[in-house]
Structure 1
Amino acid sequence: MCVSVFFFCSLMAQHKLPPRFSPDNILKCVKKHRLFPQAEASIRLRIPGTNPYAAMAVILLLSESVEDVQSLVSLLNNCLPYTAISEYFHRMAMVLLAIKRETNVHISNRLHYNIYYVLHLMENGPFAVTVDDNSRHPQINLTTEQQMILSHEIQRDHVLKIMAFAGTGKTTTLVKYAGQRPHLHFLYVAFNRSVAKEAERRFPANVDCKTIHALAFRDIGVRYQRSKKLTYNMMPFSINSVLPKGRAGFRKSKIVMQTISTFLASTDEEIDLTHVPCFYESKKHRNTPIPERERPLFLEDARYVWRKMRNVRERSKPAFYMTHDGYLKLWQLSRPCLSREYDVIFIDEAQDWTSVILCRYQCL
């Protein structure tokens, strides 16, 4: 991979522009990008001096989102014409494609997506960036759609959906929305811990950034932690050990486990027959129907295990330990009122969330 990066940087360093465009001026603009320090460190030992075209190439390799590529293009707007920027980016994409096809180096499709999506924006919806002289971080001027979101004054029970491609500035819009309303208390709910940690760095002080499980753990999960009764997931072998005689077996324990999991992801208050699957996967990976006479038995077993899981003092078997999705379900059933703490709630990547989570926020 190191050899490929060296070859790639050397190749892009040979990029030629008309004489009237100074490499020093281009480098001066590129230095304002947030990824330039890493790019400079990457190429310093491989290419003498700091070549702006090699630095631009490494910045694109290091880019994490469309926003990073947008920032680079917008900085280059101060020293290069549109055609020169477009030519460089098209060449970059073609070189990456050639390396991917002709070598064994793995190159993420995300790189091509970032580059070509920004080229699409350049052709169909120009964006602008201004740079603060006291900061290395470009400040992106918002689009018309983003400005409409910022001007919307949210009211109680309002639901505002922001739909856009990945990396196009949804989170940036929320950051600015909260920053313009310091008198309001916001909750930003992320899908996982790493996203929540990154959000803490970006959002202003009037925004609490948490995962949905962190909220549920604070109210419900902590009880099971104190009793040392938390586990990450249900396991078929553990479930099998607590099933009644004659109803045990790996296949049957998986059906019971699937029944409980379906219930935990639903908005229902009790486990019923609708949560019991109608099919199970056989050894040949075929869907085999579950006999109707057996489904009530699976329901009975699932209710038994769930009842034992809820009991904080029940630690006799690993199958009775509480999972993270389990205490999240109990939190949903407790109907917590987050509106007492927060004026507005931001939900990140809502399309990936289960019904039990979305129902919780619809009932605030």
Structure 2
Amino acid sequence: MPKKSKRSAKEIDLTDEQRMIVNAKINECDCVLINAYAGTGKTSTLRKLAEALSDRRVLYICFNRETALHAKKYFPKNTDCRTIHSLAFSLIGGVYREKIGILRPLDIMRKLKLSKSYLAVFTIQGVERFLYSIDEQIQTKHMPVEASTCGINLDELVNCSRVLWELMQDKNSAVPMTHDGYLKIWAKTNPKLAAYDFIFLDESQDTNPVTLDVVMRQRLHKTTGLVFVGDTHQSIYSFRGSINAMEKLQEISTLKYTLTKS
């Protein structure tokens, strides 16, 4: 009886919509989609859901490091709060620890012996668009639209981007490896997050294709339940190659919920 009273006290602040999610019989074969409007308590809902899954191991993938650090203070001990980049770094990124940095157009212009700085900018953008994608090789479609309108030979630009990507991967090269670069390398290894029974992906509306692909591939093992949460009406990082995964997941999700009340 005291245990029941404690549970009621913990749920007293939940809305009916939140309680429906927390009390749902979610299993490792499910793909759950939670469309949460701004200010409706999506993070607290995920925390309560993690508590309800106390006998399971949960991976909570946060959008940035600050959110992950904050979540570690409030989520239960069965939950590992990480960014997708921290997962990649723990297995791949460490190899490039000494050369992780950002790509500077003037440095790349000199390294690739390009005649104009804007060619270096387009070359870098081509690599970045490739890194966000699930493609195996840099292609014309990764080149920025502005390049074609400037009359630049796209095939030559593709070659420049491919050379740059090779230099980034070369541990003996001074060309920096970016955070999205080692994420791409890790993703291509088809990582299995078998240590977790459930994966929560926060801010799903702003995830990029390579991150979504890594998470979705866990479903192939049929031992990891997936919970995607976000707001279909908010997507603020499209410039970083993000897609609105919430829309893509509508057809394949097994359970759908909406948070509308604050």
TM-score by length of 1: 0.55
Deviates more, 1:256-265 or 1:235-244: 235-244
Per the alignment, residue 289 of structure 1 pairs with: 149
1:351 equivalent among 194, 205, 208: 205
Per the alignment, residue 43 of structure 2 pairs with: 171
1:230 equivalent among 88, 91, 100: 100
Question: Residue 248 of structure 1: SS of its match in structure 2?
Answer: coil
How far, CA to CA, are the matches of 1:197 and 1:296 in structure 2? 43
Moved over 3 A (4+): none
Question: Residue 279 of structure 1: SS of its match in structure 2?
Answer: helix
Counting only pairs closer than 5 Å after superposition, residues 100-111 of structure 1 correspond to structure 2 as none
Q: Which runs of 5+ in 2 are unaligned?
A: 1-7, 219-262
Counting only pairs closer than 5 Å after superposition, residues 105-254 of structure 1 correspond to structure 2 as 140-225=12-97, 228-231=98-101, 233-244=102-113, 247-254=114-121
Compare relative contact order (CA 8 Å, sep 6+) and give the higher one, 1 or 2.
2
Contact 1:179 1:204 in 2 (8 A): yes
Q: What amino acid maps onto 1:305 in structure 2?
A: L
| Shift in Å, 1:313 | 2.4
User: Is 1:274 paired with 2:141?
Assistant: yes
2:128 equivalent among 261, 267, 272: 261
| Shift in Å, 1:151 | 2.5
How far, CA to CA, are the matches of 2:144 and 2:46 in structure 1? 40
| Shift in Å, 1:262 | 0.6
How far, CA to CA, are the matches of 2:176 and 2:36 in structure 1? 40
* Structure 1 residues 324 and 274, CA gap change in structure 2 (3 angstroms): same
| Shift in Å, 1:167 | 2.6
Larger Rg computed on CA atoms:
1
User: Is 1:323 paired with 2:178?
Assistant: yes
Q: What amino acid maps onto 2:151 in structure 1?
A: P
| Shift in Å, 1:197 | 1.1
How far, CA to CA, are the matches of 2:21 and 2:11 in structure 1? 18
How far, CA to CA, are the matches of 2:96 and 2:197 in structure 1? 30
Deviations 1:163-216 (A, max 9, x none): 122232111111111112221000011111111111111111100111111111
TM-score by length of 2: 0.76
What is the percentage of aligned positions where both structures have the same residue?
37
Contact 2:23 2:52 in 1 (8 A): no
How far, CA to CA, are the matches of 2:12 and 2:212 in structure 1? 31
* Structure 1 residues 243 and 157, CA gap change in structure 2 (3 angstroms): farther
Deviations 1:121-144 (A, max 9, x none): xxxxxxxxxx97xxxxx9643222
Question: Residue 313 of structure 1: SS of its match in structure 2?
Answer: coil
Contact 1:278 1:290 in 2 (8 A): no
* Structure 1 residues 264 and 157, CA gap change in structure 2 (3 angstroms): farther
User: Is 1:300 paired with 2:196?
Assistant: no
Per the alignment, residue 6 of structure 1 pairs with: none
Per the alignment, residue 245 of structure 2 pairs with: none
